[in-house]
């Protein structure tokens, strides 16, 4: 095969480079596969997709399969937490990113080291024309602790079958050249290809090349990692062999583009330049004029790319898990915008269109959901903006006090207040501290965090259903829930794995060779039921069903014991399954009705489909009116009444999309997909369980419509018997209200409106009376206060409630600058009070914080406040007279400790 001579050039676009890579491997028998969503929905060990291999993890473990053995793709990745965490470097250097594309080629038990190495060399040196003398290769040097020898096979291929300079092939240890996904899972030795970009940035490598390669500098950078998946890291840290050997390669797209375009920085390429143009146009700043501004540009561009990709795939900002990570990114970028670009108004949302333009070709969902992304980003900016300014001032005061004291450590408890009060993520606090040469007291922060009950759930909250040891050798489970007849809910099968979870009641696991149980997926909950042996010696109550790759895991409670290989009967709870099927098909009809009534911009943001209800989250910029809800509900019920057949077919993905079948954002589909068609009105890709005809759904009733996020609404509904029960409940309530109002059901609304008018009039009259009471009390107070040593003092008995007391206190504060006054009111059997102290009274040592203890001795209750003002409420009204008598005898005694 011949190749056109190529060399690094600024004329080669990023889009062309991406296409060249994919086409190179397609020509060599690889299947081009789409990127998986940027957050994995079926892997509880990961917050985000952080490597190209994530979507193939089940293949490596032997628990899943594909209908191809060679693949090539460009995978959207985010690395912000856990082992592969690039966040702290982002913006500071010119080559780290939280969001990036990973170009990769894959072999599943097909070719291995030789083809992977020779093709990589061919692409680099012949197709792209990289200078061979600038390329360096590292191979695994072995590891005594793991009992692994050096990868001499890979080393020999490089030395004998390529024309690389032999002195450029180096050995490195496990840290650099043994790739592992995490604490457990697939792993293996790897070969990394590095390039010497020249220029300053590394010591002379003539004497020791290791000083340059893998030395953490900007001159020698890794371009491509060829991982040879041979092993699986077990729970006890030992290594086991995988069922087959695989190839997993990953090349950072942004890095190779910078090399091929002859740029010294990833951020100087056409991947980022359009985004920088947008930042320059919106901010009036220029990239390249100032280092602090440049860092802000890089942070903004990277972080907006990351959240745009995640929001397009269906993620939402929140205070837990991946949602909190995305919120952290937006807040980190917002801080740079405020401090280094000098912009206080929402800004990041204005950069989304430029991100959409640069990523839209490879990730069409970003372009399609651009407005939705902008709404989410702006809402987050506005929310954080309310506290950002005050938080920055608070940090400045805190850091200034530390510096004034000659210290370098910010107390952890006070630093944590930036998180708890102002919403500053920990990494943002650390970053601001480093910028001033300070650091945060780690132990103090952790103590404060432990006390903080609303701390965000961390990545550690995710756990694997099965351990690495348990998954080894397990084949993919055959499922029968889609079959016709009894096999869809009842099946004889054989046990492949049974494990009791000590100390975790109801969390035992059972894996069968085949199962009728549906595992949680696509919003539908996992089936419940029972699995039992014929002789009654073993029964497993299934509380939940989940996926671990291609393995279906039944989770529940065990009675008795069972051996691997034993025959058992698996029985799904048919009543629960039937209710779930009704809700699932109803969800499809609801989706269709929403798009017809509200518009084609509506997309599913998430869902819950269970036997008890359905929940549908949708993208929509405003609240749904009552009239719209009724029309949506009417259309769904009309489809139910038509009783159209529900047909399920298996089709090619692209063919299904071309004929208009609805595919959901953020879902990963195979080449062959199930299409659920309800009478030609609703057609969606779906692997869940459904009714046989729409009429089986029964009546459909929307229970609520609420906002859960800017631009995201939530509808909850029920169908079938549950809808009937809900309508009967609502009718009982209406009848009860009518009876209470002494009206008919049809007159309830007008009667309530009349009562509201009367209540409003009564409140206005009460406010007038209250205002008059405050006026009278103020006039009385001015005459009752006496002067002692330059301070007006007094204890006032006023017929006002707590609100009236606060209004009176506010007016007294403006009446005289020097006051020490206790106000005692009345509110039924409670005694509200306020202690007011200001001006010369404070200078003389009087303190309103002492008043609560004095008052409590007479009327109980509680209260608190500051030196200038304290307030509270007593609960023993019988002590009110004695309190007033004590205050009258010595008014200032309440203000002294």
Strands 567-572 and 551-560: unpaired
Summarize pLDDT for 783-818 with one digit per residue, the tens.
888 888 889 999 999 888 888 888 888 888 888 889
Cα separation of 492 and 169, whole Å? Answer: 57
Beta strands in 146-294 (DSSP E): 169-172, 178-180, 185-196, 220-233, 239-252
Phi-psi region of 755 (alpha: psi -120 to 50; beta: other; left: phi over 0): alpha
Q: Is 140 helix (H, G, I), strand (E, B) or coil?
A: strand
Are 46 and 40 in contact, with CB atoms under 8 Å apart? yes
* CA proximity to 192, closest of 151, 146, 245, 236: 151
Other residues' Cβ atoms within 10 Å of the Cβ of residue 392: 17
The crossing angle, in degrees rounded to 10, of helices 321-340 and 291-312 is 150
Look up tokens 């020698």; give the residue: 220
Residue 477, both tokens:
């489970």
Cα separation of 877 and 880, whole Å? Answer: 5
Three-point CA angle 644, 671, 230, nearest 5°: 140
* CA proximity to 528, closest of 541, 515, 513: 541
- C-alpha distances out from residue 484 to 489, 580, 588, Å: 10, 17, 21
CA atoms within 13 A on the CB side of 814: 6
- Which residues lie closer than 8 Å to 64 by C-beta, 6 or more apart? 58, 476, 549, 550
Q: Is 76 helix (H, G, I), strand (E, B) or coil?
A: strand
Cα-flanking dihedrals φ and ψ of residue 451, to 5°? Answer: -80, -20
Summarize pLDDT for 64-96 with one digit per residue, the tens.
788 899 999 999 999 875 444 556 678 777 777
Residue 517 has a pLDDT of 97
Are 812 and 821 in contact, with CB atoms under 8 Å apart? yes
Indicate the Cα dihedral angle 621, 627, 633, 634, nearest 10°.
-140
Residue 751, both tokens:
């009667």
Three-point CA angle 180, 186, 191, nearest 5°: 55
Residue 3 has a pLDDT of 44
Beta strands in 687-741 (DSSP E): 700-709, 712-719
Please return the burial class of 878, using the count of CB atoms within 10 Å of its CB with bins 0-12, 13-18 and 19+: exposed
> Which residues of the chain fall below pLDDT 70?
1-11, 42-45, 81-88, 182, 199-211, 420-421, 451-464, 468, 665-666, 766-770, 897
Residue 452 has a pLDDT of 55
Residue 663 has a pLDDT of 83
């Amino acid at each position: 095969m011949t190749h056109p001579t190529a060399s690094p050039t600024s004329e080669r676009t990023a889009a062309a480079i991406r296409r060249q890579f994919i086409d190179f491997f397609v020509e060599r028998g690889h299947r081009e596969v789409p990127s998986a969503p940027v957050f994995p929905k079926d892997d509880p060990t990961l917050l985000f997709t952080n490597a190209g291999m994530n979507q193939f993890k089940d293949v490596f473990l032997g628990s899943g399969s594909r209908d191809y053995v060679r693949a090539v793709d460009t995978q959207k990745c985010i690395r912000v937490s856990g082992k592969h965490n690039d966040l702290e470097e982002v913006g500071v250097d010119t080559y780290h990113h939280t969001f990036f594309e990973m170009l990769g080629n894959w072999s599943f038990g097909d070719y291995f080291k030789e083809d992977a190495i020779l093709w990589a060399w061919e692409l680099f040196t012949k197709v792209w024309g990289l200078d061979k003398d600038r390329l360096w290769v590292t191979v695994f040097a072995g590891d005594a602790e793991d009992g692994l020898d050096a990868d001499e096979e890979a080393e020999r291929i490089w030395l004998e079958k390529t024309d690389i300079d032999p002195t450029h092939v180096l050995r490195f240890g496990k840290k650099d050249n043994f790739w592992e996904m995490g604490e457990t899972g697939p792993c293996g030795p790897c070969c990394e290809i590095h390039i010497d970009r020249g220029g300053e940035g590394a010591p002379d490598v003539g004497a020791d090349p290791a000083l340059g390669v893998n030395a953490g500098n900007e001159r020698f950078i890794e371009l491509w990692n060829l991982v040879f998946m041979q092993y699986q890291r077990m729970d006890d840290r030992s290594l086991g062999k995988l069922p087959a050997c695989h190839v997993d390669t990953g090349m950072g797209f942004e890095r190779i583009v910078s090399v091929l375009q002859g740029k010294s920085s990833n951020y100087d390429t056409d991947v980022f330049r359009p985004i920088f143009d947008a930042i320059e146009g919106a901010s009036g700043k220029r990239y390249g004029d100032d280092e602090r501004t440049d860092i802000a540009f890089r942070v903004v561009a990277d972080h907006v790319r990351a959240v745009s990709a995640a929001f397009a795939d269906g993620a939402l900002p929140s205070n837990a898990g991946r949602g909190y990570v995305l919120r952290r990114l937006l807040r980190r970028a917002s801080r740079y915008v405020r401090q280094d670009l000098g912009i206080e108004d929402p800004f990041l949302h204005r950069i989304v269109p430029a991100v959409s333009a640069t990523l839209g070709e490879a990730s069409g969902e970003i372009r399609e959901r651009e407005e939705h992304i902008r709404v989410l980003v702006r809402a987050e900016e506005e929310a954080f903006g309310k506290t950002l300014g005050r938080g920055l001032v608070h940090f400045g005061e805190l850091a200034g006090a530390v510096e004034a004291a000659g210290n370098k450590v910010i107390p952890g408890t006070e630093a944590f207040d930036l998180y708890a009060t102002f919403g500053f993520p920990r990494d943002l606090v650390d970053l601001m501290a480093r910028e001033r040469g300070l650091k945060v007291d780690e132990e103090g922060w952790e103590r404060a965090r432990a006390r903080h009950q609303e701390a965000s759930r961390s990545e550690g909250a995710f756990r694997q259903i099965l351990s690495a040891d348990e998954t080894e050798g397990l084949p993919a489970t055959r499922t029968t829930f889609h079959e016709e007849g009894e096999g869809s809910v009842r099946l004889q099968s054989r046990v492949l794995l049974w494990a009791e979870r000590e100390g975790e009641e109801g969390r035992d696991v059972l894996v069968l060779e085949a199962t009728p149980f549906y595992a949680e997926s696509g919003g539908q909950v996992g089936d419940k039921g029972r699995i039992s042996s014929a002789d009654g010696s073993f029964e497993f109550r299934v509380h939940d069903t989940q996926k671990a790759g291609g393995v279906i895991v039944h989770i529940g409670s065990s009675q008795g014991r069972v051996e691997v290989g034993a025959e058992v009967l698996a029985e799904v709870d048919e009543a629960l399954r039937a209710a779930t099927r009704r809700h699932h098909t109803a969800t499809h009809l609801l989706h269709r009705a929403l798009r017809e009534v509200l518009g084609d911009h509506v997309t599913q943001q998430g869902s819950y489909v269970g036997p008890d209800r359905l929940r549908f989250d949708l993208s929509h910029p405003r609240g749904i009116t009552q009239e719209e809800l009724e029309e949506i509900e009417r259309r769904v019920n009309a489809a139910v009444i038509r009783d159209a057949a529900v047909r399920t077919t298996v089709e090619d993905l692209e063919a299904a999309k071309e004929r208009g079948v609805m595919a959901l954002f953020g879902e990963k589909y195979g080449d062959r997909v199930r299409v659920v068609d309800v009478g030609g009105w609703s057609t969606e890709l779906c692997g869940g369980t459904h009714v046989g005809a729409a009429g089986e759904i029964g009546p459909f009733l929307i229970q609520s419509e609420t906002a859960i996020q800017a631009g995201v609404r939530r509808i909850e509904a029920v169908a079938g018997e549950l809808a009937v029960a809900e309508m009967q409940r609502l009718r009982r309530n209406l009848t009860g209200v009518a009876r209470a109002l002494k009206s008919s059901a049809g007159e309830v609304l007008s009667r309530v409106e009349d009562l509201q008018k009367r209540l409003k009039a009564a409140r206005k009259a009460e406010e007038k009376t209250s205002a008059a009471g405050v006026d009278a009390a103020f006039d009385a107070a001015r005459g009752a206060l006496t002067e002692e040593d330059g301070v007006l003092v007094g204890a006032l008995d006023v017929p006002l409630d707590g609100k009236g007391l606060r209004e009176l206190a506010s007016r007294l504060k403006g009446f005289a600058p020097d006051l020490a006054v206790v106000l005692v009111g009345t509110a039924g059997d409670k005694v509200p009070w306020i202690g007011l102290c200001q001006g010369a009274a404070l200078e003389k040592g009087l303190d309103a914080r002492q008043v609560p203890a004095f008052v409590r001795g007479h009327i109980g209750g509680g209260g608190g406040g500051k030196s200038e003002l304290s307030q509270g409420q007593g609960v023993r009204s019988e002590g009110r007279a004695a309190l007033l008598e004590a205050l009258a005898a010595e008014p200032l005694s309440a203000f002294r400790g």
